[in-house]
Amino acid sequence: MDTKELLKKVRKIEIKTRRLSDHIFGGEYHSTFKGRGMTFSEVRQYQFGDDVRNIDWNVTARYNEPFIKVFEEERELTMMLMVDISGSEMFGTSQQFKNEVVTEIAATLAFSATQNNDKIGLILFSDKVELYIPPKKGRSHVLRIIRELIEFEPESKQTNLAEALKFMQNVMKKKAIVFVLSDFIADDYHQTMKIVSGKHDVTGIRIYDKREEEIPNLGIVQMEDEETGELMLVNTSSKKVRLNYAKFYHEKVEYYKESFNKSGAGSIDCRVDESYVKKLLGYFKRRG
């Protein structure tokens, strides 16, 4: 993709998603995530009515009179976008590929965070972390994130969500708002998710295509595994083949839902032909 075409795409996504974040998501995002924690500010002498649980016993012992810790609400937040860029994200049978919807959702969330003066970071992952952009503020930073989402070419087409989560846990020392955007055709990340969501505010956004849920009866067709590149002939007229595929797919979806729900993380399901605007708004309002 040449520079002119890339800038045109970035601008198009910015216009669409910034309008959404300005008029719809800005307030919802703020009311959902504001004041997620308290940070230590100072100590002062104890006054009648203060919470005794906030007494600073070290300072109290030093001066032989009670002092308490004063905390302030943390206004500045950090949003981390974790985006699956494995081969399966290039699938799509309707108007958009999954990765195009992912880019729009990520951009909308990023601009919503910018309105709140928050930092935004990005992790692009396959079966390894392909790119890490540390959290920063501002429009130009969000535009860089959008550019990477559009044009970045991964070295691998496979998926390892657990590795990406471990990396995020290592680089993010303070609590962050984390959105994981993927189709979640993966496994072996339940335990890691539990650890990560114990520290961070995590939400999974599952992007999928309705044609992924089951194989239609088309006779014998050649199919390619998007993650391994393997070509194979599949007899889609076989009921057993169709049932086995449906079983495999729904097991992955159930694993995703169970992993996020049992870890205390949030989850959103968004089909590519559905309105992600309604899905995000509904989620924010339920949490707000």
For residue range 228-287, what is the model confidence (pLDDT) as tens digits? Answer: 667 777 777 778 878 888 898 999 999 999 999 999 999 999 999 888 989 998 898 888
What is the token pair recorded at 99? 């990765």
pLDDT at 46 over 80: yes
What percentage of the chain exceeds 90 in pLDDT? 44
Q: Element (H or E) spanning 83, and its range? A: strand 78-84
How large is the average pLDDT for residues 36-58? Answer: 78
pTM of the model: 0.79
pLDDT at 91: 57
DSSP 263: T
- The class that CATH gives domain 3-33+75-287 is alpha beta
Contact 86, 227 (CB under 8 A): yes
- Positive or negative: CA dihedral 176, 90, 8, 104: negative
What percentage of the chain exceeds 70 in pLDDT? 88
pLDDT at 195: 95
How large is the average pLDDT for residues 4-20? Answer: 82
For residue range 56-102, what is the model confidence (pLDDT) as tens digits? Answer: 999 899 889 999 887 655 567 899 999 999 876 555 555 678 889 99
pLDDT at 269: 95
- Positive or negative: CA dihedral 223, 224, 227, 230: positive
For residue range 128-183, what is the model confidence (pLDDT) as tens digits? Answer: 999 999 999 999 999 999 999 999 999 998 999 999 999 999 999 888 999 999 99
Contact 261, 194 (CB under 8 A): no
Q: Element (H or E) spanning 100, and its range? A: helix 98-115
pLDDT at 231: 78
Contact 209, 215 (CB under 8 A): no
d(CA 202, CA 176): 8
d(CA 268, CA 74): 26
Contact 217, 149 (CB under 8 A): no
What is the token pair recorded at 134? 């540390």
d(CA 2, CA 4): 6
Q: Given pLDDT bands bounded at 50, 70 and 90, which one contains residue 189?
A: very high
Indicate the domain borders of the chain. Answer: 3-33+75-287, 38-73
d(CA 71, CA 276): 37
The three-state secondary structure class of 95 is coil
